[in-house]
Amino acid sequence: MANSTPTGDSRPTEPKTLVESAYRALRRDIIEGNLAPGEKLRVEHLKDNYGVGAGTLREALSLLISDALVVSQGQRGFRVAPVSLEDFEDITKTRVMLECDALRQSITMGDDAWEADLLAAFHRLTKAEEKRIGTDDREEWEERNRIFHEVLISACPSRWLKHFLSILYQQAERYRRLSLYLQPIPRDIHAEHEALMQAAMTRDTDKATAILGEHILLTFQSIQLIPKDQLNEKLAA
Amino acid sequence: MANSTPTGDSRPTEPKTLVESAYRALRRDIIEGNLAPGEKLRVEHLKDNYGVGAGTLREALSLLISDALVVSQGQRGFRVAPVSLEDFEDITKTRVMLECDALRQSITMGDDAWEADLLAAFHRLTKAEEKRIGTDDREEWEERNRIFHEVLISACPSRWLKHFLSILYQQAERYRRLSLYLQPIPRDIHAEHEALMQAAMTRDTDKATAILGEHILLTFQSIQLIPKDQLNEKLAA
DNA sequence: TATCTTAAAAATCTCGAGAAAAAGTATTGA
DNA sequence: TCAATACTTTTTCTCGAGATTTTTAAGATA
């Protein structure tokens, strides 16, 4: 795998081995919901779908355990990690705590280059939002949104904090996608991002963390508004 | 593997497969320092040592990446995760933040059963300390120390927080063992534990978290006192 | 009908051998 | 002596097949 550092970011640059290709493809399918929560992952079936051998696929699945996207059990194979409202709430709250702390440090430590990166990331995100209006190009927006959040805390010196946050972000993205069908877009996410960037650029730490905390929390609360029967239909697997 | 929950504790109960046995043996050897930091992990050699096939060993190594005890790189195999003073400092600071927060929640939520567990864990730890005086039974003390810290925060409802903390604890233990030869035992750890337990039992949250924070920080500061040349000898690999 | 036992089917887990890549060594030339 | 190239060796990566274990299904008994 390319991401070799112990606390390094979980996004390798380029897949050099079949294990990594399979790892990526599986991760994508789990996050996007093509592989349903709780679904059994039969190696013999999947190896054909992803065009690799059984051993290679097993190794890719082992890697996905790190990301808590796959779970395994004794002699009973692999499964897609289940989902629950409690889990999403836990992810959200933990993320609020860690990401706000990381942002605080990042604002303190960030230099001119960081400001430039942040401005650029926000610009790219804005462009993706404009482009997205007509088309359904969700992927590009997702990627740029992730990068925006990543750049925000990039000046934080703690590798471990950033490592944990990349895992939590990935988890949150999965839940966000599962809830997308039910809840379109009632929020003005662009405005939230802009206010967040402004506060960060002007080094208003308290304001920035307050906005960020609310921003993350809202993604959780929006799913709670959904009628319970519809929700369970999605979550149960 | 037995630990199947996405955010579950990273200590399975019993190894049911060869992959898991190899995973445990390797983890133990890395934490105890039998496999040196940065050392290359050649599958062809190791498979004989651990008595498993190449594929099985690769899978075990993949699992160790989750714990950040092993790193891998493209087509260049696996290595024991390197160590550095900066990394240990990062681990310590992150752990202080997370573990204090978890303790705060645990004290708030903990019921009678939690108090009983805590008292029992402290008692077992004390017994291990007494027994340890003559003999060199480090392992039992290590295990009970881990459990004591685990029970302290067990009433915290956040699985993710506890999951991250179990990873950080494991990392810290590795550094602690590496530094053991250089720095015997200048601290009265028993007194620290006792004060910590007392504060937790009387629900004095501020005092408890203060003690815990100091307690964790001290394990880092004790390694810093070591002469630099000796330290690099240990850390460089 | 429900439960326990027994047998077939499917899936997981494991190993060894072959292809691809990297690391190391020797040779050649200036 | 040094650098670059070609060759050899080692190691990683990958696949397919066999041994265990779990799951499913059928049959028998109360």
| Closest by CA position to A69, among listed A35, A43, A99, A42 | A35
Q: How confident is the model at residue B8, as a pLDDT?
A: 41
Show the beta-strand stretches assigned E in chain A: 40-41, 70-72, 78-80
Amino acid at A232: N
Q: How confident is the model at residue A5, as a pLDDT?
A: 35
Q: Chains A and B: how many Cβ contacts under 8 Å?
A: 95
What is the percentage of chain B residues whose pLDDT exceeds 70?
Answer: 84
- Measured CA B78 to C1' C16 distance, in angstroms: 21
A7 in Cβ contact with A35 (< 8 Å): no
B183 in Cβ contact with B230 (< 8 Å): no
Q: Do domains A18-80 and A85-235 have the same CATH topology?
A: no
**Exposed / middle / buried, residue B185 (Cβ in 10 Å: 0-12, 13-18, 19+):** exposed
Q: How confident is the model at residue A118, as a pLDDT?
A: 97
Rg (CA), chain B: 19
Say which DSSP state A50 is in: T
- pLDDT for residue A150 is more than 70: yes
Q: How confident is the model at residue B204, as a pLDDT?
A: 97
Split at pLDDT 50, 70, 90, the class of A136 is: low
Cα–Cα distance, A176 to A167 (Å, whole number): 14
Pick the CATH number of B18-80 from 1.25.40.10, 3.40.640.10, 3.40.190.10, 1.10.10.10: 1.10.10.10
Q: Which residues touch strand D (CB under 7 A)?
A: A 17-19, 51-56, 74-76; B 16, 40-45, 54-55, 58, 72, 74-78
Amino acid at A52: V
Length of chain A: 237
A141 in Cβ contact with A132 (< 8 Å): yes
- Considering only CB atoms, A161 lies closest to which of B62, B72, B94, namely B94
Name B78's bridge partners.
B41, B72
More confident residue, A136 or A67: A67
What's the mean pLDDT in A177-182?
A: 70
| B163 contact residues in A (CB cutoff 8 A) | 68
- Considering only CB atoms, A74 lies closest to which of B2, B59, B94, namely B2
Backbone angles phi, psi at A34, to 5 degrees: -65, -30
The predicted-structure confidence for B130-182, as pLDDT tens digits, reads as follows 877 666 677 888 999 999 999 999 999 999 999 999 999 999 999 988 876 55
Cα–Cα distance, A43 to A45 (Å, whole number): 5
| B65 contact residues in A (CB cutoff 8 A) | 1, 63, 66
The answer to whether some atom of strand C lies closer than 7 Å to the beta carbon of A51 is: no
Say which DSSP state A78 is in: E
| B7 contact residues in A (CB cutoff 8 A) | 68, 87, 90
Q: How confident is the model at residue B188, as a pLDDT?
A: 84
Q: Where are the domains of chain B?
A: 18-80, 85-235
HSE-CB for B32 with a 13 A CA cutoff: 11
Split at pLDDT 50, 70, 90, the class of B94 is: very high
Pairing of strands A70-72, A78-80: antiparallel
Average pLDDT of chain A?
Answer: 87
Q: How confident is the model at residue A139, as a pLDDT?
A: 86
What is the percentage of chain A residues whose pLDDT exceeds 70?
Answer: 84
Amino acid at B140: E
| Closest by CA position to A68, among listed A172, A223, A216 | A172
Q: How confident is the model at residue B36, as a pLDDT?
A: 93
Q: Which residues of A lie closer than 8 Å to B, measured between beta carbons? A: 1-2, 4-7, 16-17, 55, 58-59, 62-63, 65-66, 68-69, 71-75, 79, 81-82, 87, 90-91, 93-94, 97, 101, 157-161, 163-164, 168
Burial pattern A196-213, b for ≥16 Cβ within 10 A else e, equals bbebbbeeebeebbebbb
The predicted-structure confidence for B18-43, as pLDDT tens digits, reads as follows 999 999 999 999 999 999 999 999 99
Least confident of A174-183, A186-195, B48-57, B83-92: A174-183
- As ranges, strand D nucleotides with an atom below 7 A of a protein CB are 11-17, 21-23
- pLDDT for residue B9 is more than 50: no
Split at pLDDT 50, 70, 90, the class of B2 is: very low
Interface contact B158-A6, CB threshold 8 A: no
Kindly state the helix (H) or strand (E) to which residue A219 belongs, with its residue range.
helix A205-224
- Chain centroid to CA A195: how far? 21
The predicted-structure confidence for A33-48, as pLDDT tens digits, reads as follows 999 999 999 998 999 9
B94 in Cβ contact with A158 (< 8 Å): yes
Average pLDDT of chain B?
Answer: 87
The predicted-structure confidence for A112-123, as pLDDT tens digits, reads as follows 999 999 999 999
Residues A230-235: contacts with CB within 8 Å, 24+ apart?
Answer: A230/A182, A231/A85, A231/A182, A234/A178, A234/A179, A234/A181, A234/A182, A235/A37, A235/A83, A235/A84, A235/A85, A235/A178
Q: How confident is the model at residue A55, as a pLDDT?
A: 94
A77 in Cβ contact with A131 (< 8 Å): no
Least confident of A133-142, A197-206, B211-220, B227-236: B227-236
More confident residue, B58 or A180: B58
Q: How confident is the model at residue A189, as a pLDDT?
A: 87
Residue A165 is encoded by which pair of tokens?
């946050």
Q: How confident is the model at residue A186, as a pLDDT?
A: 63
| Closest by CA position to B108, among listed B196, B200, B192, B198 | B200
Cα–Cα distance, A131 to A140 (Å, whole number): 10
Residue closest to C16 C1′ by Cα: B53
Q: How confident is the model at residue B235, as a pLDDT?
A: 54
Say which DSSP state A72 is in: E
- pLDDT for residue A232 is more than 80: no
- Going from the C-alpha of A103 to that of each of A23, A175, A217, B85, the distances in angstroms are 30, 23, 16, 24
User: From the CA of B147, how many Å to the nearest CA of chain A?
Assistant: 23
| B161 contact residues in A (CB cutoff 8 A) | 94
- pLDDT for residue B232 is more than 80: no
- As ranges, strand C nucleotides with an atom below 7 A of a protein CB are 11-17, 21-23
Q: How confident is the model at residue A230, as a pLDDT?
A: 54
Amino acid at A91: I
Interface contact B82-A6, CB threshold 8 A: yes
Q: Which of A31, A90, A104 to mutate to test the interface with B (most CBs of B within 10 A)?
A: A90
Fold of B85-235: Four Helix Bundle (Hemerythrin (Met), subunit A) (1.20.120)
